[in-house]
Structure 1
Amino acid sequence: MEINLNLNGRAVSASVRPDTLLLDFLRDQGCYSVKRGCETSNCGACTVLLDGRPVLSCSVLAARADGRTVQTLEGLQREAEAFVTYIADQGAEQCGFCNPGFVVNTIALLRENPDPTDQEIRTFLAGNLCRCSGYEGQLRGIRAYLDSRKGGKA
């Protein structure tokens, strides 16, 4: 089947099998930030934005993206660069495997709620699993970024 979509700002047309996962399609398109983690929709490593909303690409068929807009971390670099250093400064990127999912979800959170509370951050990012950290580093990094935007302590 033929699908047409906007991927990170460019038009893409491709032929896919009906059972092709969006995750596999995106990796075939060179979007290697999209990680295969648990394959059970539980870890968040494969998170992408589909029409601006975070989805787990391991549980979405590529055919569902036909006619839609998909953004991966490759297409969100400018938006991400504003806060990823704050996360890194907290040592929250230890192995880096979960980072793309965290970053994509954080972008979605900040688009929806530009000034979230710590609890709102925790709730929004709850579906992202990290085997290296206790999640507090990510929270501290996001909080430091938000505080810096307000002119507070970074």
Structure 2
Amino acid sequence: MTLPVRHRHGSMLERPFPAFGWGEPITAEFDELFERMNRLLQGAAAPAALAWSPAADMRETDDAYVVEAEVPGIKRDDIDIEMSERELRITGEYKEQEREGVLRRSTRRTGRFEYRALLPTDVRSEEVSATLHDGVLTVTVPKAQATKPRHIEITES
């Protein structure tokens, strides 16, 4: 995680302001808050918190929900899809490649990932299908009852 850099060059923020009754530099409170946030974030780094979520779109058609998740470079065998009642769960792992030399910079995500979606209606979980093409995983979840719009005629009473 990238954190902001604090510069200490004798700026106005680091000088005491006796006119306002501040005996310490203003940044002292920010330093304390910064340290507390660091401790909080370091304590939250449990194994489950290390999973990342791929970018995904979910759209609804008349008879199904379609989820398209971006998983470039991930093999089909490294992805697992589970459907339980109305929850879709896509998990997997992007394995880091073996490299020679020293890695100087990396912005690519690696490790475990997880995507979850709670669907608003009942679905036919036994008919869920998935395809992986050009780094995009497409999961189609059919609705239990394809509800199509129906015109209601208004009658006079």
Q: Give your verdict on TM over 0.5.
A: no
Bin for the TM-score computed over the shorter chain: under 0.3
* Structure with larger RCO (C-alpha < 8 A, sep 6+): 1
Structure 1 or 2: larger helix share? 1
- With structure 2 as the length reference, what TM-score do the two structures score? 0.22
Structure 1 or 2: larger strand share? 2
Structure whose CA Rg is larger: 2
